[in-house]
Amino acid sequence: MMFGVPPNVIAYRWLRFKTRKLALLVLLICTIAVTLYSTNLVQQTQLLQEGALQWSNRTFFPASTEVSSKVAFVNDKDYKMKFPDNVDLEHFPLAKPISTFHLTKKMLRVLKTGAGRHYGTGFLKFFGHKAHNKGKKNTHLNHQMTHVWRGLSRRQQCAHLINGLYYNSLWTNEDIMRNYENEGLGRMVFQMMAERLRVYDYCFLQESEDLNVVFATEPLLSSEYTVEDFNVRMFPFLQFSDDKLMWPDVIDVSEGVVLPPPNIEDMSIRDFNANFWANWAQYSEGKGIVLTMRESDSGMFYKQLNTFKELGNKLPIQVVTTGKEATNKFVETLGKLAKKTEQKIYLVDVSKLLKPDFVQDKIINFLNKWIATIFNTFEEEVFIDVDAISYVPMQDYFQTENYKDTGILMFRDRTLLQENTFKRCTDLLIEAEPTKEEVRLIGSRQMFDSLWLKKNDDVPDKELMSTEAEVYRNFYERLKLHHVDSGLIAIHKKYKLTGVLMSFFFNLDARLSSCVYGDKELFWLGQLVAGERFAINQMEGGILGAVSEEVVTEDDGKSKKVNYNICSTQIAHIDENNKLLWSNGGLRTCKFLNSAGSDFQSNEEYFASRYGDAETLQRVYDSPLPIDGVIIPDAQRDPWIQIKECANYVYCAFARTDSSGKLIGDGYLATFEDADRREYNEISKIWNNAELES
């Protein structure tokens, strides 16, 4: 018996000590087992191939490598969203078990608690805290883990993030091109693609780490995981090569010669291609006009070129093709157009950069626009549809405050209240928002997100103080379909590349591509999910044409109000000073050739009563569009009306003034000054008179 302590007390304390020790040991074993086991939700294969023990036995703070960087890109602008470091993360979603951020957080936890070297007292101490201290402890531990993470170099951070990707040995962004019966599985695939692209941006575009150096910084789980393997999984549409420089054939159509590729100095072809996107951004240069077209669009292109000439355009023009249009005949045709209109034109053939089967299966219709937007060789571009017309010099778009502030300028579409997207679509996009772990580790944030939507639920649209905020709310909350007209977009490609790549992936995803009309909403959605700021012109799209007016006498017999309307096929965009910027749909009254006959056949009674015969209707259709003004209707009070003319493509918009001449409601009427009207109608005349000889 020990002095002063009864035997039963000693026995009790001994038993309690042993019991606690046993409980801690059991808890430790269970925790390790859970860490070692996770399910691959994409392919339902084993996610953790070696588990936390492998992480604990590896070198987390590697010595500097002797591999030299071969990346030329220097990101000296920042259009990213900026938030304070102490942002409240309480309501952010947690990363999925398959996420590299979830796995990296586990690694940091092992590091901080001492288990990165051995399962010692630090690890036991972490798992031995009482339940009522759990919340406080986790908060403190999160701060500690963040501190450890920030102590790593960007190169070391990226090595760990890539490690996390490879714990799912079957990961690939090609998964988004597949259809899944399981909706949850499809959302997971979409979320992981967006997350990986933000990781790529953080590592290889924001700071331009060299992939070769990052892959040499820390051994990966298998020697099979190489830079080449990583690139193929990240960008499954690219045709990577070790011995051929990844650069398109740029043909000067005036001379019929292919321009030499850029001088990559002492960089090897393999190093250039390994870091393709950073080098693509760096070696793209200058400003220019970009479009994509079929050879059959040559006549329309000739009309557009004549308007460029009228505006004194000096910017070079690149027509981008996947190779389908890169024929000798097309090059010869473009050469003739260049000489006739005194424009500098290049045909950019990107077939060497893309997998042929991918082009064959996927690049159709609107997808060609992404190829042109991404694979032109300009640093700054104005993309324009071949049937769009600018009324200001093209270089003016680069000088707008919106463009200079964000690096991308888009234009608002007309408001069509009766057309909607689906809640499953916004749910899918919300899944792609950065998680708590991603925000903490690499600082990803969106310009607007679902948390912003909840916080501003009761704020009226007019108090949001942002066109972009209103567009976000209308799409995500009200499910309105039409927001951006993508017929003309100015992009600083060098710095907005990740957002455009995100948009391209979105259009490849079968689930999301069915949620929008073509490509247009994906331009701003890609920038949003990539964490980029973007700008949308505050004026909605309106209808362009001849303004008709009807004076209506009020019941008092004295007061008069005026009803204005425009009916046409051309959507136009103006600035806040009533300056006409651009329109789409050509400048013929009906943008479709020889459609009067088919219109008469479809509804002879309607058209005969209004036009008499098909010949008269065709003359109306073929006449140049008269330009007097633009109407942006109050869609709630006076919604757009679609009529039967021009194969049902004519829309009418209305604006009304009271007896004092003040507009009723939120509609907008812009009537042009005489000098401006003459200038705009001259452009319409030039466009209509430019006929390409066959």
Read off the pLDDT of residues 362-420 as tens digits, 9 standing for 90 and up.
999 889 999 999 999 999 999 999 999 999 999 999 999 999 999 999 999 999 988 99
Domain ranges of the chain: 249-270+282-539, 543-589+624-689
Query: Which runs of E-coded beta strand occur in 186-334?
Result: 249-252, 257-258, 287-291, 317-321
| Region 503-526 average pLDDT | 94
The percent of residues above 70 in pLDDT, for the chain, comes to 82
Residue 186, H or E segment: helix 183-200
Q: Does domain 249-270+282-539 have CATH number 2.60.40?
A: no
What pLDDT, on a 0 to 100 scale, did the predictor assign at position 607?
A: 96
What pLDDT, on a 0 to 100 scale, did the predictor assign at position 219?
A: 55
Mean pLDDT of the chain: 86
Q: Give per-residue burial for 378-414: e unless 16+ CB within 10 Å, then b.
A: bbbbbbbbbbbbbbeebbbbbeeebbeebbbbbbbbb
Q: Is the pLDDT of residue 568 over 90?
A: yes
d(CA 625, CA 645): 14
What pLDDT, on a 0 to 100 scale, did the predictor assign at position 89?
A: 77
Three-state SS at 227: helix
Give the pLDDT confidence of 27-45 residue by residue, as tens digits: 555 555 444 433 333 333 3
Give the pLDDT confidence of 574-607 residue by residue, as tens digits: 999 999 999 999 999 999 999 999 999 999 999 9
| Region 275-281 average pLDDT | 98
Burial of 153 (0-12, 13-18, 19+ CB in 10 A): middle
pTM: 0.86
What pLDDT, on a 0 to 100 scale, did the predictor assign at position 388?
A: 99
Q: How many CB atoms lie within 10 A of CB 643?
A: 12
Q: Are 378 and 496 in contact (CB under 8 A)?
A: no
Q: Is the pLDDT of residue 103 over 80?
A: yes
